[in-house]
Chain A
Amino acid sequence: MSQPEILNQAFELGYTYTRSTGPVVGRFLTELRDRNIVGIKASDGRVVVPPMEYDPDTAEELSEFVSVGQEGEIVSWAWIKEPREAHPSEQPFAWAMIKLDGADVPMIHWVRADGESEVSTGARVRAVWADETIGFMTDINGFELV
Chain B
Amino acid sequence: MSEQEPITGIEAPIYLKYNFTAGAAPARFLSQVKRGVLTGQRCPLCEQVYFPPRGSCAACGVPTQEEVVLADKATVESFTIVAIPIPNNPIKPPYIIANLVADGANLSFIHLMSECVNEDVHIGQRVQAVWKPAEEWDYAMDNIRYFKPIDEPDVPVDRIGKISVAGWEG
Contacts and interface: CB of A to CB of B under 8 A. Distances in A.
Nearest to B14: A15
B41 to A, nearest CB: 9
B2 interface: yes
Nearest to A133: B2
Interface residues of B toward A: which range?
A: 20 to 34
Given A4-B31, A6-B27, A30 B15 contact: no
B2 A33 contact: yes
Interface residues of A, number: 28
Nearest to A86: B15
Contacts of B6: 26-27, 30
Contacts of B164: none
The dominant DSSP class at the B interface is mixed
Interface string B75-96: 0000000000000000000000
Nearest to A136: B10
Contacts, number: 88
A130 to B, nearest CB: 15
Interface stretch (A17-25, A46-54, A56-64, A103-111): A17-25
26 contacts: A1-B28, A4-B28, A5-B27, A6-B27, A7-B21, A7-B22, A7-B31, A7-B139, A8-B22, A10-B18, A10-B20, A11-B18, A11-B19, A12-B18, A13-B15, A13-B16, A15-B13, A15-B14, A16-B13, A17-B11, A18-B9, A18-B10, A21-B8, A21-B10, A30-B2, A33-B2
Given A7-B139, A30-B6, A135-B10, 8 more contacts: A8-B19, A11-B19, A16-B11, A18-B12, A19-B12, A21-B8, A30-B1, A34-B2
